[in-house]
Amino acid sequence: MEKNTELYRGKAKTVFTTDDPEYYIMRFRDDTSALDGKITRQLERKGRTNNHFSFFIMRSLERSGISTHCVKLVSDDECLVKKLKMIPVECVVRNLAAGSICRRLGIKEGLRFKKPVLELFLKNDELHDPMVNESYAQAFGWATSDELESMKTQSLRINEILSDLFAKAGLTLVDFKLEFGVDTRGNLTLGDEFSPDCCRLWDTKTMERFDKDRFRQNLGHVVDGYEEAARRIGCPL
Ligand code: ADP
Ligand code: UDP
């Protein structure tokens, strides 16, 4: 499949059209950003690590019955994906307290919730991704009631599948963000990526972080941490 024009350059990935109108090529760059893009840095090997990591996870999800946009790896930092019409609402699932929920509710990091928490955020950097709810999503036409129902069910199912996958590797899946879209046949499909850039992964015993908090909190060896998480789950790099 030939890469055509650059369609969209985000903070960490670039999307290209291909000669087939149903597919895009997504390139994972080495760019890393925090604070809605205010802080950016190049981290060597991050693009290829996240590309392989995300593909490995999406393949595992497919095997458990989740529809994803991933088709195949086309290079170390590029993946062929199904073209989706993205829903501008991010789904965040949390098992333990960390990040914004601690600031918002004044709770201690590491608290395990009685059941997983599901939150919705509008994808909008200028507004700093404000938290929204299903009523907003329907009122503004971001997603239909059926799409929201399916996004919720799939997010919680993905949490079960991946919590188990990471637990077997000695890692706790603390929280993560998902993006869904609708494919050319009208099917709700998991898009974007699942990598240490968009989840929190802690060593189950030591609580060492193997995710983007290494960058956000200036803990160092960011990509080494991502590679260690990949190695533990058996993802080839
Ligand atoms: P951001 O837009 O947050 O800066 P990225 O740098 O990760 O994000 O850019 C990737 C963009 O591509 C995101 O806006 C994401 O919603 C979009 N995207 C992900 N998967 C697909 C897909 N299969 N089809 C169309 N767009 C997609
Ligand atoms: N997340 C993300 N993109 C966003 C916002 C959040 O990938 O735009 C991920 C983040 O990495 C974490 C989870 O979603 O795994 C919850 O993030 P939180 O709301 O705690 O925000 P943060 O404090 O990380 O900014």
pLDDT in the model for residue 180: 99
Half-sphere exposure of 131 (CA within 13 A, CB side): 6
Element (H, E) at 200: strand 199-203
199 lines ligand 2 (CB under 6 A): yes
Distances (CA, A) of 68 to 54, 88, 180: 11, 17, 9
Q: What is the pLDDT of residues 33-80, one digit of tens each?
A: 988 777 889 999 999 999 999 999 999 999 999 999 999 999 999 999
77 lines ligand 1 (CB under 6 A): no
Percent of the chain with pLDDT over 90: 95
Atom 20 in ligand 1: residue holding the nearest Cα: 192
Residue 151 has pLDDT above 80, yes or no: yes
Q: What is the rounded distance in angstroms from the CA atom of residue 120 to the CA atom of residue 102?
A: 16
Q: Which residue's entry shows tokens 């998991």?
A: 190
Q: Name the strands in the sheet holding 3-9, side by side, starting at the edge strand that comes first in the sequence.
A: 3-9, 13-18, 23-28, 78-82, 70-75
What's the pLDDT score for residue 83?
Answer: 98
Beta-bridge mates of residue 182: 85, 188
- In this prediction, residue 80 carries a pLDDT of 98
The alpha carbon of 24 and the centre of ligand 2 are apart by a number of angstroms equal to 25
Query: Average of pLDDT values for 118-133?
Result: 97
What pLDDT is stored for residue 35 in this prediction? 80
Residue 172 identity (one-letter amino acid): T
Region 18-47 average pLDDT: 93
Centroid of chain to Cα 112: 21
